[in-house]
Structure 1
Amino acid sequence: MKNRIDLTVEARETGKHNSRTLRSNRQVPAVIYGAVAPINVTVGEKEIVKFNTRAYENALFNLKSGDKNANGIVVLVKQVDVHPLTRRPVHVDFYALDLKKAVRVWVEVKLEGKPIGLSEGGLLNVVNRQVEIEVLPTEIPEFIAADISNLALGDALHASDLKLSGSGKIMSSADLTIAVVSAQEEEVAATPAPAAAAPAAAAPAAAKAPAAKK
């Protein structure tokens, strides 16, 4: 089962004045939504800075709070808004999970091995580094490993070649190119991938975040 990280949040009052006061005290306004009715909370700036990194992408957080409505909710960090100049976090969106329903998230593809096509004068082009998957929250993988050692000159790895265990399904287009071994003068255009996780159809409540109350 995917490990969870305890994260302390507390109830907050809405309004611009209250939000400014919280930020001056190194607290970040946040909203919880998804499998629950929206809840306005605050979370420590230090914790958000720590967890808003690639190392904690798709991590599950178990909320601890004196507010009984928020206590015990398991969430993903869906979005962290930062100040354009100071780069300090100014608002956080938490997506509350139903652990029995699948969600859609973007996961890194980790390429392993050296393609045989390199010895044939080819060049490895990594076109897309992430794919979208649908999976139970407790089975979200840290990454998807893909062996590319058998790729010859002109061969490509596609999303359809990737393997997932458990309940996971690849939701990206089957013909999405992950990597290709091409002649060095050739170039392959990358398809940009969204930065934030998108909820599965099984969890329509998260399709759009509610307007946050500052």
Structure 2
Amino acid sequence: MKQRIDLAVAARETGKHNSRAIRNNRHVPGVVYGAIENANVTIDEKFIVKYNTRAFENALFNLKSDNGKLNGKVVLMKSVDVHPLTRRPVHVDLFALDMTKTVRVFVEVKLEGKPIGIAEGGLLNVVSRQIEVECLPTDIPESFTADVSNLGVGDALHVSDLTLPSTVKVMSRPEDTIAVVVVQEEEVAATPAAAAAPAAGAAAPAAGAAAPAKDAKAATPAKK
């Protein structure tokens, strides 16, 4: 069973004044929604900082609270708003789960191996690092692993190439690209074509200079 992390929360009053006071006390105002009646809560800031990382992106949190409606609820940390300057968390959204129903989440794809195309002058371009899946909360994977060793220049790894557990349903499009080996562009010295560019550019002013002459002629008063 997927490990759960205890997270202490307390009910809070709404309003800007209360939210400001909560933040001054190094706590973060938040809301719990989903398989529960919406509830306003407050959480110790240090816990939000600790768990608001990629490593805990799909972690299951077991709420601990004196409020009976909140205590024991299992949630996902869906989003954390941070201050643009201090980078301190200012608000958190917690999604309460129905453990008997599936949920959609994005799961990281970790690439392993060195593509053979690199030896051919290619470069591995990672297009997407996550895919969307649907599964029961207890079946949410921490990540998926894909081997890119056999990718040559021009070869790509698609969502359909991933091997996933039977308990997980892929929601991303099968044809979506995760990574591709592309030709590495090299800086090339001036070529004849490049050298000809200024000459072509020089012709532009000459063509542009003809326009005023035509306009001037048109502006000349007609002879009586």
- Tell me which interval the TM-score lies in, with the shorter structure as reference length: 0.7 to 0.9
Q: Which has the higher Rg, Structure 1 or Structure 2?
A: 2
For the aligned residue pairs, the C-alpha RMSD in angstroms reads: 1.3
Cα separation, 2, equivalents of 1:183 and 1:78: 38
Which range moved further: 56-65 or 127-136?
127-136
Scaled by the length of structure 2, the TM-score of the pair is 0.80
Q: Tell me the residue number matched to 1:137.
A: 137
Cα separation, 2, equivalents of 1:179 and 1:97: 32
Gaps of 5+ in 1: 187-214
Q: Tell me the residue number matched to 1:66.
A: 66
Q: Deviations over 1:147-181 (max 9, x none)?
A: 11111221110011112114211111111111111
Which range moved further: 73-82 or 128-137?
128-137
Cα separation, 1, equivalents of 2:26 and 2:12: 14
Cα separation, 1, equivalents of 2:98 and 2:164: 21
Q: How many residues align?
A: 186
Query: How far off its partner does 1:120 sit?
Result: 2.4
- Percent of matched pairs sharing the same residue: 69
Task: Give the residue type in structure 1 aligned to 2:4.
Answer: R
- The answer as to 2:119 corresponding to 1:122 is no
Cα separation, 2, equivalents of 1:119 and 1:90: 48
Q: Tell me the residue number matched to 2:75.
A: 75
Q: Deviations over 1:66-89 (max 9, x none)?
A: 000100000000111111221111
Q: Tell me the residue number matched to 2:10.
A: 10
Runs of 4+ in 1 over 6 A off after TM superposition: none
Cα separation, 1, equivalents of 2:58 and 2:119: 37
Equivalences for residues 102-113 of structure 1 within 5 A: 102-113=102-113
Higher relative helix content: 2
Aligned partners of 1:60 and 1:75 also within 8 Å: yes
Query: How far off its partner does 1:109 sit?
Result: 0.7
Aligned partners of 1:139 and 1:166 also within 8 Å: no
Cα separation, 1, equivalents of 2:135 and 2:148: 24
Q: Tell me the residue number matched to 1:200.
A: none
Cα separation, 2, equivalents of 1:162 and 1:126: 15
Q: Deviations over 1:3-40 (max 9, x none)?
A: 00000001111111111111111111111000111011
Scaled by the length of structure 1, the TM-score of the pair is 0.83
Gaps of 5+ in 2: 187-224
Query: How far off its partner does 1:97 sit?
Result: 0.5
